[in-house]
A and B are shown apart, each in its own frame.
Chain A
Amino acid sequence: MEKIDRLGWAAGVSFEAFGLRVGIRVRDQQVLNSLISRIPGQWSLRNSAEVDRLYSVVTPAVIRRNVRPLYVLYGDHGRLSRTERFEEMLDSFESDLDLYIAANSPETLFIHAGAVRWKEHAILIPGRSRTGKTSLVAEFLHAGASYYSDDLAIVDRSGYLHPYPRPLSVRIANDTSRRVRPEDLGAESAKSGRISVVLFTEYVASASWCPSRITHGQGILRLLQNVPSARKQPALVIDVLENAIKNAEVQASYRGEKESTVNSVLNYLDCRSVA
């Protein structure tokens, strides 16, 4: 850390987000502005330099012709990325900050899940990477749902789901991904509310959506596997999860194509509303 401290810093900021104190220091004010644009949710500036996590970004002092610039991002004393692409460094910052907050926030529960709202129903889709969460979220948005989140859903201590408006990370050719803003899919930000239905699902080419209801206890067990802070504060996490799904139906099924799955879910919710 001392070596990094000696590098000489031109600008910095200290802020609080989701109950955590975070600092950023840079050698270039422009870089700081770009990093600030990636801070999630509601955050506030702080005057104190005392922070829980400190990000340091080293950029070239002078851009020379024929020499590629190198951007190095540190999280506390560990190097997080070293890249020639500025956007990549920003993505790395955003990803690490998200995980740091998700794993440590004392006031908000983060669930690795997509979440959308259809009429009065908040739909939570927890799941590991590569289970098809994002494609399902995008399809719900195409169908007219509003948007909470693509990757990290946030729930307050009373169990209310809130938007965590990050762009969707849509997978494209060669297994790489690109960021798509929900507005580009015609979606609005969803209003906070109670979860109506939790869908544990995974794409399997030959499958079709045929859900079975699972108990809340089993649902909590599965959700625990998708909560980054579960090991750190298990008692609190279990309490919040119980609150969050107490009025929700928990369903599990493999699924086939996203269009038919979304149609089935929306039809079901519409019928439930009428009943």
Chain B
Amino acid sequence: MSDSQIFDELKRSRFNRRPLIVKQIGAEWVLYDEQTSTAHCLNGVAAEIWTACEEETSGTDIKVALRFERPDVRDEDILASLNEMLKLGILEESTSSEAVSVSRRELVRKLGLTAAIALPIAITSVLVPPAAAAASCGHLGALCSGTKPCCPGIGLGCVAGTCVGVGH
């Protein structure tokens, strides 16, 4: 894949940040998506890319925004990061359908493989569990209910309000 292919792709693509809960914690940013109950932690570079995507921002606009603070970030890093952010649902793509190149997916797939090793961008994501799953679970013989499930993964089931062994 050539540099010009990547540049063309950045120029064509348009991105918007999704409306998420945002909190800056030192050099990192924590994002929370209420629709998917997913939390993400972006390192400094990732956060700068994400925040640059204000309204119909193109990949080249992002490159310009990062030019002075992050001269080391390459075009392929930006493209791979944008793709990762799209997959995680923290960005939306607003590129017109005619402008999306046929080879885009293949290009990004290759980038993902090569850039993953050296990428200065880091994003961690977790699914935040519902209330009952974030609290204690029932052990063998304990009472259980819709609000207090039996502990998963050890062959227990809630039968008539009590956690009993259901075997594997």
Contact = CB atoms under 8 A, between A and B. Distances in A.
Contacts, number: 135
Contacts of A169: 136
B38 to A, nearest CB: 10
B137 A215 contact: no
Contact of B139 (A78, A79, A83, A176): A176
Interface in A220-252: 220-222, 224-232, 234-235, 238-239, 242
Given A81-B161, A217-B41, A112 B28 contact: no
Given A220-B30, A231-B130, A235-B32, A242 B25 contact: yes
A216 B143 contact: no
Contact of B28 (A81, A129, A216): A216
Interface string B126-168: 1111111011110111110111100100100000110000000
A137 interface: no
Given A83-B143, A175-B140, A221-B124, A102 B135 contact: yes
B143 A92 contact: yes
Contacts of B8: none
Contacts of B41: 215, 217-218, 220-221
A199 interface: no
A218 B131 contact: no
B109 to A, nearest CB: 27
Contacts of A242: 23, 25
A99 interface: yes
Contacts of A103: 131, 135
Interface in A171-214: 171, 174-177
B151 to A, nearest CB: 5
A222 B25 contact: no
Given A82-B161, A215-B26, A230-B128, A176 B141 contact: yes
Given A82-B161, A96-B148, A99-B147, A231 B37 contact: yes
Interface string A81-123: 1110000100110011011101100000000100000000000
B139 A238 contact: no
B43 to A, nearest CB: 8
Contact of A222 (B21, B29, B37, B126): B126
Contacts of A78: 145-146
Interface in A134-191: 151-152, 169, 171, 174-177
Contacts of A235: 21, 23, 32
Q: How large is the interface on A (under 10, 10 to 19, 20 to 34, 35 or more residues)?
A: 35 or more
Contacts of A230: 128, 134
A77 B118 CA distance: 56
B25 A217 contact: yes
Contact of B142 (A79, A112, A177, A227): A177
A228 B25 contact: no
Given A81-B145, A95-B148, A234-B21, A221 B39 contact: yes
Nearest to A242: B25
A151 to B, nearest CB: 5
B135 A228 contact: yes
B133 to A, nearest CB: 8
Nearest to A96: B147
Given A177-B139, A217-B28, A221-B30, A231 B23 contact: no
A75 B127 CA distance: 28
Nearest to A176: B141
A219 B99 CA distance: 40
Given A96-B147, A176-B141, A177-B142, A221 B126 contact: yes
B54 interface: no
Interface of B: 21, 23, 25-26, 28-30, 32, 34, 37, 39-42, 124, 126-132, 134-137, 139-143, 145-148, 151, 154, 160-161
Given A82-B161, A103-B135, A238-B21, 15 more contacts: A83-B161, A95-B143, A95-B148, A99-B148, A102-B131, A129-B139, A151-B135, A176-B140, A176-B142, A177-B142, A217-B28, A218-B124, A221-B124, A234-B21, A235-B32
